[in-house]
Amino acid sequence: MAGESSSFHLLDERIQRFIWQQGWEDLREAQELAVPLILPADQDVIIAAATAAGKTEAAFLPALTNLLHGSGEGLIVYISPLKALINDQFGRLDRLCEALDIKVWPWHGDITSGVKARFLKKPEGVLLITPESLEAMLCNRGTSIAAVFKEARFFVVDELHAFIGSERGKQLQSLMHRIDRAAGRRIPRIGLSATLGDMSLAGKFLRPGGAPALVESTSSGVEIKILVKGYEEPTAIKQVDGQEPDPVSPAQIAAHLFKVLRGSNNLVFPNSRREVERYTHILNELCEREQVPNEFWPHHGSLSKEIRSETEAALKQKERPATAICTNTLELGIDIGAVKSVGQIGPPPSVASLRQRLGRSGRREGEPAILRGYAVEDARSGLTSLKDRLRLDTLQMVAMISLLLEGWFEPPQVAGTHFSTLIQQLLSVIAQNGGASAKELFTLLCAPGSPFAGITSGEFLELLRHLGTKELILQESSGVLLHGPLGEKFVNHYTFYAAFASDEEFRIVAGGRTLGTLPVSQMLTAGQRILFAGKTWRVEEVDDAQKTIFVTRASGGVPPLFSGGPGRTHTRVRQRLRELLRGQEVPAFLDVTARKFLREARDEYERLDLDNKVTLDQGNEVMLLTWLGDAANEALACLFMRRGFTAMAAGPGVEVHKKAGGVQEVLDALGDFAVEDVPDLDFLLADAKNLAREKWDWALPDGLLRKAYASQYLDLAEAADWVKAVGQAQAGL
DNA sequence: GACCTGCTGCGGGATG
């Protein structure tokens, strides 16, 4: 290696020795490129590379060299979205750092206070921490923050894409910014990720207004093998007792999974926790019936840590093959080893998500990535919805796969005004500094280059005044802002540190063992039978005070409902879907039934003349077919609602309830929108209710809530463009 | 039909 690698020689001798001892043949491409960029610690860097292996080292080999060559003490702050990832990384880094005599400090909710106290006594080495724990540190140890981070050389943010666009991402930006300010200098930021489409957007996220150096590993193109199988669900006939019969396609899909997945490690994504339960149970029963050892394990966010660890351990060990039926809990970089194939039941939530999932397969040299898609459609019988007639689930899956193959996926949503997280950060800064003036707060959080830049001083003052009326803050006669009585209560409870909201939950306990949790909104009663953790149970007792549901093993049971909202579809996906409907080409990866679905959808598209028609009369409603993404369709629905219509975004378009004037009245409204100016948000959303989505939205003045909502959920500009284009086309007829 | 993530400080009692 020594002869070919120039970066290798830049590393500290002790690190070079460690690399030899590991028997690593040479530095990976990303490592080779990253070392000279990171070593001087004078700029931000983003490392985008296909596999998890190698990225951590690409950041840490030069960062640790910098630490070793520096003047004694120094600190690297690694920030992870998952505790599990911190535990994995601790195992890997501690081995390396032991040889270098550098301490590694894991810090999250499960780490004992003793470890944290020892770190704080001498804050040197590598700190592995979550955003929430960092928030707690700033809140509770405000006076010592400058000292703790005085010698911080780098922030390393793992799984950068998992933060972009969310409340947590905005919080993370704010935390790094506040630490920069406390330390009195710009601490270089290193972002690690596999899925970053537009690198300039990711760069803007890593540091607002920044432009980091980029390391993109041109990974050798892994071969992708794809098969999409169609399944026809017979029309349900109500049984004598009025109950819906069980659907038959899950049993058929499970039978196929059983046949093709046994003997190897795989991941299957059925898109919801409920379906994870359903499929795990069917597959477990199949193994039992065939008298073979069980190879199918459940994994989702409502299962207890113990049960999830069992599944992760089953995937990691090499003795027996194992397949996880899972949600996106297994999408991020937890170490589960390579898998042979990925199953996707129903359309994935996004192309980015599909890409991340498929990235778990084909990670060994010379092995392809294998994707099996399962598409279910209702059998045809008379009056079915447009979604059924156009086979939209199947077509959406095919559209997403075709975009994936082209290398496209949804860009990260860096924009968006996160007033909710601004409230959290205001309260946190007040805690950190024991009070602050309005001007100090605005300069720290909202000035150009700050995480909340773009918020005007007028909006900021409006927010502060409103927080005063909510008793979250109060102003001393000197002008200094402090916590109000309610603010004090919130900040002093540990739930304050997370920027995102969460449901209240019941624990499900069987014989003293916690199986997992269910949201309280999904009330269960004694005697009910449920399917949970892949097994069936009878509810014995519901303890409201202890928020616990006691269950015992029993036969029979249906999977419970969990809470959750739908994913959001991007305009590009809808447009690709329409291209598929218009086209003739039949992708080679479709099986006979999936081909049939595609043919039926194309026939229907032609029969309804959807290439030329914008409206479809559906009786009580008019369907406006925009073929735009959800954000534009929702904005269009808002325009109609403001005109007194009942309207909602529905798949590829907007469903508008007819009024007395029928279809023509809807078209007239559309014609008016085309020539009117785009309305402002206060007008458009004047009557809108229930806009609160994020944790602190309840404390926002109406105008700011409307702005926050619109910035994240509505694309008014795209809706207006569509309306204008359609209006012109109609005028030309 | 529809995801996921995370969490302090302190006091009391047991243990080495």
Q: Which residues touch strand B (CB under 7 A)?
A: A 81-84, 108-110, 113, 116, 130, 132-133, 136, 140-141, 166, 168, 271-275, 300-302, 327-329, 346, 349, 494-498, 500, 502, 561-567
Asked which of A336, A371, A395 is the last residue of a domain, the reply is A395
CA-to-C1' span, A623 to B5 (A): 37
- Residue A202 inside a domain? The answer is yes
User: Do A211 and A230 reside in the same domain of the chain?
Assistant: no
User: Do A684 and A637 reside in the same domain of the chain?
Assistant: yes
Judged by C1' against the alpha carbon of A565, the nearest nucleotide is B2
pLDDT at A383 over 60: no
pLDDT at A366 over 90: no
CA-to-C1' span, A77 to B8 (A): 20
User: Do A297 and A348 reside in the same domain of the chain?
Assistant: yes
- Residue A596 inside a domain? The answer is no
Judged by C1' against the alpha carbon of A83, the nearest nucleotide is B6
**Per-range mean pLDDT, top range of A300-304, A367-371, A624-628:** A624-628
Judged by C1' against the alpha carbon of A130, the nearest nucleotide is B6
- Residue A164 inside a domain? The answer is yes
Judged by C1' against the alpha carbon of A327, the nearest nucleotide is B3
User: Do A390 and A362 reside in the same domain of the chain?
Assistant: yes
User: Do A205 and A274 reside in the same domain of the chain?
Assistant: no
pLDDT at A141 over 70: yes
Three-class SS state of A104:
strand
pLDDT at A198 over 80: no
Nearest residue (Cα to C1') for B2?
A566
pLDDT category at A385 given cuts 50, 70, 90 is: confident
Asked which of A158, A193, A216 is the last residue of a domain, the reply is A216
CA-to-C1' span, A86 to B4 (A): 17
Q: How many domains does chain A have?
A: 3
User: Which bases in strand B are touched by protein, i.e. have an atom under 7 Å from a CB?
Assistant: 1-10
Nearest residue (Cα to C1') for B4?
A329
CA-to-C1' span, A72 to B3 (A): 44
Q: Which residue has better confidence, A556 or A673?
A: A673
pLDDT at A723 over 90: yes
What is the residue range of A91's domain?
Answer: 8-216
Confidence (pLDDT) at A188:
98
- Residue A495 inside a domain? The answer is no
CA-to-C1' span, A174 to B8 (A): 20
Number of H-type helices and E-type strands within chain A? 27, 24
Nearest to A378 by CA among A506, A505, A231: A231
User: Do A193 and A232 reside in the same domain of the chain?
Assistant: no
Residue A323 in tokens: 């397949």
Dihedral sign, Cα of residue A625, residue A627, residue A630, residue A631: negative
Find the mean pLDDT for residues A677-699: 89
pLDDT category at A560 given cuts 50, 70, 90 is: confident
Find the mean pLDDT for residues A655-659: 92
- Residue A577 inside a domain? The answer is no
- Residue A553 inside a domain? The answer is yes
Confidence (pLDDT) at A678:
86
Judged by C1' against the alpha carbon of A495, the nearest nucleotide is B7
Judged by C1' against the alpha carbon of A129, the nearest nucleotide is B6
CA-to-C1' span, A133 to B15 (A): 30
CA-to-C1' span, A423 to B8 (A): 20
User: Do A236 and A378 reside in the same domain of the chain?
Assistant: yes
CA-to-C1' span, A332 to B9 (A): 32
Judged by C1' against the alpha carbon of A135, the nearest nucleotide is B7
Report CA A475 to chain centroid distance, whole Å.
Answer: 38
Judged by C1' against the alpha carbon of A308, the nearest nucleotide is B4
User: Do A271 and A190 reside in the same domain of the chain?
Assistant: no
Judged by C1' against the alpha carbon of A346, the nearest nucleotide is B1
The angle formed by the CA atoms of residues A167, A91 and A188, to the nearest 5 degrees, is 50
CA–CA gap between residue A362 and residue A341 (Å, rounded): 7
Confidence (pLDDT) at A705:
95
pLDDT at A681 over 90: no
What digits encode the pLDDT tens for the residues A3-35? 567 888 899 999 999 998 888 878 888 899 999
User: Do A197 and A232 reside in the same domain of the chain?
Assistant: no
pLDDT category at A51 given cuts 50, 70, 90 is: low
Q: What is the DSSP string of A34-49?
A: HHHHHTT--S-EEEE-
CA-to-C1' span, A512 to B11 (A): 26
CA-to-C1' span, A269 to B3 (A): 11
- Residue A150 inside a domain? The answer is yes
Judged by C1' against the alpha carbon of A107, the nearest nucleotide is B7
Q: At what angle do helices A716-732 and A630-642 cross, to 10 degrees?
A: 70
pLDDT category at A148 given cuts 50, 70, 90 is: very high
Find the mean pLDDT for residues A403-425: 91
Q: Over chain A, what is the mean pLDDT?
A: 90
Dihedral sign, Cα of residue A210, residue A211, residue A212, residue A217: positive
Confidence (pLDDT) at A588:
96
- Residue A334 inside a domain? The answer is yes
CA-to-C1' span, A404 to B1 (A): 25
CA-to-C1' span, A566 to B2 (A): 4
pLDDT category at A544 given cuts 50, 70, 90 is: confident
Nearest to A524 by CA among A554, A488, A562: A562
CA-to-C1' span, A384 to B8 (A): 54
CA-to-C1' span, A391 to B9 (A): 56
User: Do A680 and A539 reside in the same domain of the chain?
Assistant: yes
Confidence (pLDDT) at A53:
57
Give Cβ neighbours of residue A633 (< 8 Å, ≥ 6 apart).
Answer: A626, A649, A650, A653, A654, A719
Asked which of A374, A395, A416 is the last residue of a domain, the reply is A395
CA-to-C1' span, A162 to B4 (A): 10
CA-to-C1' span, A723 to B3 (A): 33
pLDDT at A733 over 60: no
Residue A293 in tokens: 């050892």
Amino acid A338 reads: A
What digits encode the pLDDT tens for the residues A203-224? 999 999 889 999 987 665 678 9
Helices (DSSP H) in A317-391: which residue ranges?
351-358, 386-389
Judged by C1' against the alpha carbon of A139, the nearest nucleotide is B8
Confidence (pLDDT) at A240:
61
Judged by C1' against the alpha carbon of A167, the nearest nucleotide is B5
Q: What is the DSSP letter of A377?
A: E
User: Do A50 and A160 reside in the same domain of the chain?
Assistant: yes
Nearest residue (Cα to C1') for B8?
A494
Q: Which residue has better confidence, A229 or A84?
A: A229
pLDDT at A508 over 60: yes
Find the mean pLDDT for residues A554-563: 83
Confidence (pLDDT) at A52:
52
Confidence (pLDDT) at A138:
97
CA-to-C1' span, A469 to B15 (A): 51
Lowest-confidence region among A317-321, A331-335, A578-582: A331-335
Q: What is the CATH number of the domain that holds A239?
A: 3.40.50.300
User: Do A103 and A245 reside in the same domain of the chain?
Assistant: no
Judged by C1' against the alpha carbon of A517, the nearest nucleotide is B4
